[in-house]
Chain A
Amino acid sequence: MTALDITGFSILLLLGGAIACPLLARRERLLIPVAFTLAALASGGVILSGFLTLSQGLNSAATIPLGLPGLPFNVRLDPLAGFFLVVIGLVSLFVSIYSIGYVRGYLGQRPVTPLVAFYLLFLAGMLLVIVADDAYLFLVAWELMAAASYFLVMFEDERAENRRAAFLYLLVAHVGALAILLAFGVMAGVATGYERFDGYTFDAMRGAHLSPGWSTAAFFLAFFGFAAKAGVIPLHVWLPEAHPAAPSNVSALMSGAMLKTSIYGMIRVGFDLLGEFPWWWGGIVLIFGLLSAVLGVLYALMQHDLKRLLAYHSVENIGIILIGLGLSMIFTSFHFPALAALALVAALYHTLNHALFKGLLFMGAGAVIQATGERNMEEMGGLIHPLPWTSALFLVGCVSISGLPPFNGFVSEWLTFQAFLLSPALPQPLLRLLFPLGAALLALTGALAATCFVKAFGVTFLGAQRGHRKVEHVREVGPAMRLGMTLAAVSCLALGVLPTYAVGLLDRIPRQLMGGHIGAVAGRFGWLWLTPASAERASYSGPLVFCVISAVVAVTYLLLHVRGASIRRAPLWDCGFEKITPRMQYTATAFAMPIRRVLGFLFDIREQVELISPVNHPVMADHIRYRLRIRDRIWGWLYAPQAKAAFWIARQVGRLQQGRIQIYLLYSFVTLIVLLAFLG
């Protein structure tokens, strides 16, 4: 069995499972473990085939006699597709195991069969997008993915805000899909001179020679379409609405895996199908990356809904991936294949890392929500005591996403920094100067992400319970959910401690796409040191960082506990006030206040303080009501005018509608006359 067969078999398994789901609709208690075990098995198969393709550098293609007559589906597995199969497979493996426990929480509340069926379809759609080798199958799979995830976002459809989120998602997804369709149209049309139909395969597009104008149009149409799906600012508005609305296992999959398909699309179109481009394409990708990274994390910092916060962090991380991608494009266009390879590996590594830690964080958020029935962080606190597993695993996710060594997020951000620092090689003085500023923005992003996750973890899990709910009723989640999260956390640590192995594998992709590679690992104990450019330039050793810190911590602990520790527990120090309550703790809003004040000009903030006094005098106030509304300005700048314009046009067109049959007959008559006049 070849790798392509295994992938095909896994996808068929998922599609078959989705179709068979309604058979077990009456026995949902059985359906959940069966369906999700099936999904986990299929994911395992996908990981295996992706890994084989990547490690052996396979490139196999096949044609499936399905689709329209004369337009069969083409599939292909090359190292790039293999890598994305591994990314999606890993996330879906962990999330499927987690779902066995998580979806059970819905039993008795609502029928879960649609959730299970669309979950399987969604997975199949994502995998098909990756293996597709022609525009036709690609778009069919793309739509399958979009439609399945639409129904998943709509799962809890009794809430108005969920319906609104799902609608917005569908709208943006389709505007994006339209742009992608046009991009493929341009490439396919030029490939065949607008005469034949066989230009729809990726092979034909690779062979086409586009004029600079057409190729720019194709790239930016595709970039727009994929950016809409990835949630790049300013096309991100659907993301913080749709991700929180979906069930948490679906959010993990959407954020961890689905967003990555658009990164795949950008790389496929930019590096593979078009191949050659001027440097300013990369510059624009880089600018959008920086914009998404900085604004994404700032918006995240202002959230107090746990899942919305995580959703905005997806915007940020997609930004970081785009930074690497943009750098790689710039280096490629100036013919520095080794540097371009470094930047591309940084982007791909961050893609993998983000899939894992964001999957982990969304799973953790789902566990918290299931245990407490609460999404608002201001009502949480002290959950580390009833949820020891969830909190520890969530902490791993927080540390990874904040880019702290020795976890995985650090490695990919460090590689991106190294790519930035290679800018003195560039021939353009202006670029040389502007690049470090981009690196500074990346540093700002990293530091703000750390701030945000201190807030997220601190307010949710530490301190004392803030809300009215009793912590005593909160129970730790079940074994399946814990297993899914633990596996994700372990992979986060493994990819951070042993990055050389993964980077060595990833190095095959730039070799395939642009002929350059880093050749990072060399010499004795090569696995120990990650040296992306050269050993003199920079090096990082994950194993040593991990081992030395653990060793010193262990030795210090043992030395101090030789004589038996005496630890006394005492009540909180209350400054002699004696009435200290959990309400006096810092809240999520309070925590973000300094940043809100310093960088508040980027937001649309409305703050209201109202004093309520029984005797109507401000001095004698006994309640203070504080209202805070934060919106991102982009909605007001970009979307609200469009919505207004659409309504205005609709109203103008609406004037035709008079409600009188004579007028409508007149319309028909006039239309007929006009048509006759033109055609006659």
Chain B
Amino acid sequence: MSLHPLFIELLQVALLIALAPAFAGWVKIVKCRLQGRTSPGILQPYRDIRRLFIKDVVLAQNASWIFRFTPYLIFGVTVLAGGIIPLISTDLPLADTADIIALVMLFVIIRFFTALAGMDIGTAFGGMGSSREMMVSALAEPAMLMAVFTVSLASSSTSLTRMVVVMSQGEFVIRPSLAFALMAFILVALAETGRIPVDNPDTHLELTMIHEAMILEYSGQHLALMEWAGMMKLTLFFALGIAAFVPWGIAAGGQPLALLMGAVLLILKLLLGGVIMVLIETGLAKMRIFRVPEYLGSAFLLATLGMIAFFILE
């Protein structure tokens, strides 16, 4: 028996929407443990989102339609990205909608409109956040694509499902190029999802805010959508890393048992990935904003090394 691809697609998107807050909660729990605090529990993000949905929206007086439209757009783009990245199965009707380059550009839509929303209200904070975010992203983009290119060389394809198939069905070989690319990817992913050492998601201190500064004026259901999409984006970056570097376990077809296995393995990988991220976050301090170029420059160098390694060694 095999499930219809459309059903798998819906299942995967539903899984992503439902489990992203739990993943954010898990990250918070691990972080609290490592820093010697008691954690609010894995359900806290759900409670936050519910509370925000109930609350009224307060809009700044000169906020335009851009400010109100952005949360919906971001949510929509994130859901689309969730339909493209193979989480539990590669048999997805939407998988061919965008290859990995187009996927990276989908995330740029999110950033573009968040930055516009930050400038819409006309406070110093919003502009500051937008300006910094765009600087970080401008420098992260080349490193990100370089890492992506290196990965795509091995499967000579930029399609994500194709990469998964080539990696998980071919025999296991240790590729030095992928090791470099993975390191570069981790560095860039930390920057793109706004984690320490580039940005601190838990702070509202004006000297260090980037992402939080842009969404400072959001409230109510708008903020709920933004937060939820943010959690989904974090999960998706992990899923992207999993699909590109450790895809073993992602089902090739639609057998229910394989799907279940895929889901369980995905959750295990996410739990492990969350711990690794928290270890990095706890081990490092937040950088000065003008140290970020060096950080992203080293990510770029690592990705380039991976590419050179591919051409020389493989």
Contact = CB atoms under 8 A, between A and B. Distances in A.
Are the chains A and B members of one assembly? yes
Contacts, number: 247
Interface in A409-436: 410, 414, 417-418, 421, 424, 429, 432-433, 436
Contact of B61 (A540, A565, A569, A595): A569
B297 to A, nearest CB: 10
Interface in B103-151: 105-106, 108-109, 111-112, 115-116, 119-124, 126-128, 130-132, 134-135, 137-146, 149
Contacts of A455: 131, 134
B77 interface: yes
Contact of B101 (A414, A451, A457, A464): A414
Given A568-B57, A573-B217, A447 B108 contact: yes
A556 B143 CA distance: 34
A544 B94 contact: yes
B112 A450 contact: yes
A566 B57 CA distance: 7
B108 A404 contact: yes
Given A538-B158, A539-B159, A421 B152 contact: yes
Given A537-B156, A584-B123, A570 B135 contact: no
A585 B123 contact: yes
B157 A536 contact: yes
Interface in A570-596: 570-573, 580, 582, 584-586, 590-595
Contacts of A450: 108, 111-112, 134, 137-138
Contact of A568 (B59, B77, B111, B122): B59
B109 A404 contact: yes
A457 B113 CA distance: 11
A595 B98 contact: no
Contact of A536 (B56, B79, B123, B162): B162
Contacts of A447: 108, 137-142
A440 B145 contact: yes
Interface in B157-176: 157-159, 162
Interface stretch (A22-30, A156-164, A378-386): A378-386
Which secondary structure characterizes the binding site on chain A? helix
A444 B115 CA distance: 18
A381 B127 CA distance: 12
Contact of B157 (A538, A551, A569, A594): A538
Interface string A449-478: 011011101110011100000000000000
A153 B121 CA distance: 37
A529 B96 contact: yes
Given A545-B97, A552-B76, A404 B56 contact: no
Contacts of B94: 544, 548
Given A538-B157, A593-B131, 12 more contacts: A399-B112, A403-B105, A433-B311, A439-B146, A455-B134, A463-B120, A537-B159, A545-B80, A545-B106, A553-B76, A572-B122, A586-B130
Interface of A: 381-382, 384-385, 395, 399, 402-405, 410, 414, 417-418, 421, 424, 429, 432-433, 436-437, 439-441, 443-444, 446-448, 450-451, 453-455, 457-459, 462-464, 529, 535-541, 544-545, 548-553, 556-557, 560, 565-573, 580, 582, 584-586, 590-595, 597-598
Nearest 7 pairs of A and B residues by beta carbon:
A586-B127, A463-B122, A458-B119, A447-B141, A552-B76, A594-B135, A451-B134
5 contacts: A552-B75, A571-B60, A585-B124, A586-B119, A594-B135
